[in-house]
């Protein structure tokens, strides 16, 4: 997993509450097991018509948000099933920062395991961001994980909270496997100290 530092990018607004993982990545795409290549299916049913043509009224098809790296959402984002594919699709599309008043628990933890930063902000602050994003084309912010700050175009700074362990993992690029491998020498030493398994003959 890549180390997470600062991210500067266009903010893309998804102005719907309770966006669930089935909308993020519909079930027919769950047969794909790779973490890459899922971005083209993100919000598939909202982005495309049955014939595959893009829906002009969906935000990801709006040229003003092309290349967006920061997704702004409403309450309970990522609800529904626990499919990790939802985070894979978001990241593969280009989103590595998510901002919302609340996230579904499993989705929230899956973000950290895959190098995506989910930021929880007060609902009134999120409302203000939505208004600014819609009003100003090309609205871009800088997100600094080290200082836990979001710098807005007008110079305003929003601070966010994050669990210290999760912050450390993102900053150092540590996923579950990397964390385990940090103890590799200790595990090896433990295994070396184990007594050989011996078969005991049982006589009747």
> Nearest CA to 143 among 64, 74, 71, 38?
71
Summarize the confidence of residues 35-52 as an average pLDDT: 94
Q: Which residues pair with 22 in a beta bridge?
A: none
Radius of gyration of the chain (CA): 21
Angstrom CA distances, 195 to 185, 191, 192, 198, stand at 18, 9, 8, 9
List, for residues 132-176, the tens digit of each pLDDT value: 999 999 999 999 999 999 999 999 999 999 999 999 999 999 876
**Which residue would you say has higher pLDDT here, 34 or 190?**
34
Lowest-confidence range among 24-28, 34-38, 54-58?
34-38
- State how far the Cα of 172 lies from the Cα of 5, in Å rounded to an integer: 9
Domains of the chain, CATH where assigned: 6-174 (3.20.19.10)
Mean local confidence (pLDDT), 93-109 = 97
User: Which residue's entry shows tokens 């011996």?
Assistant: 198
């Amino acid at each position: 997993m890549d180390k997470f530092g600062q991210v500067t990018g266009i903010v893309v607004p998804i102005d719907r509450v309770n966006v669930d993982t089935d909308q993020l990545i519909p079930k027919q795409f769950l047969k794909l097991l790779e973490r890459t290549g899922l971005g083209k299916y993100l919000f598939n049913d909202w982005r495309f018509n049955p014939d595959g043509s893009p829906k002009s009224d969906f935000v990801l098809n709006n040229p003003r948000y092309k290349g967006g790296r920061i997704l702004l959402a409403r309450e309970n984002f990522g609800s529904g099933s626990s499919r990790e594919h939802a985070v894979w699709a978001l990241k593969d599309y280009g989103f590595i920062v998510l901002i919302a008043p609340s996230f579904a628990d499993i989705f929230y933890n899956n973000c950290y395991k895959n190098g995506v930063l989910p930021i929880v902000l007060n609902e009134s602050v999120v409302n203000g961001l939505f208004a600014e994003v819609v009003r100003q084309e090309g609205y871009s912010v800088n997100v600094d994980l080290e200082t836990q700050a979001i710098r807005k175009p007008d110079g305003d700074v929003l601070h966010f909270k994050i669990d210290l362990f999760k912050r450390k993992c993102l900053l150092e690029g540590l996923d579950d496997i990397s964390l385990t491998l940090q103890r590799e020498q200790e595990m090896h030493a433990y295994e070396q100290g184990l007594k050989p398994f011996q078969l005991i003959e049982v006589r009747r």
